[in-house]
Amino acid sequence: SSDSVTRQNYFVLHSALDLVEKAAWTTNQMYLKVVDKVNHQMVSTFLTAGNIKFMLLHGGRSEDSIKHFFQDVYELYVKVSVLLLISLCHFSLFCSSYSFIHPSIHPSIHLSLSSP
């Protein structure tokens, strides 16, 4: 059934985490290529500088296409992370200035956040 296949895929990816950690110490590359093979399935991994792991379970597709896929995912990850930081910064500045005008909101917001 599809439920057992889903569980098996999850198990294969999860069991590859130890191999990913081991491979991370042997190279300074972000793309670790295939780190594990199980039942005609392969696990490829991409590590970010912050040790975030992108893992892909596949049936042996072109290594170049997998590398490009990971590079695209990483690029989107960086863009979303930067947008999140920018949004938090704008929110912090808004809260800081708003609590200055209306200290009844929460006094610790004004004290913990600095405005430019």
| Mean pLDDT of each 10-residue bin along the chain, 116 residues long | 85 92 91 92 93 92 91 92 77 56 48 42
pLDDT, residue 64, reads 92
* φ and ψ of 75, to 5 deg: -60, -45
Rounded CA gap, 48 and 32, in Å? Answer: 11
* Prediction pTM value: 0.70
pLDDT, residue 90, reads 66
C-alpha radius of gyration, the chain, whole number = 21
pLDDT, residue 74, reads 94
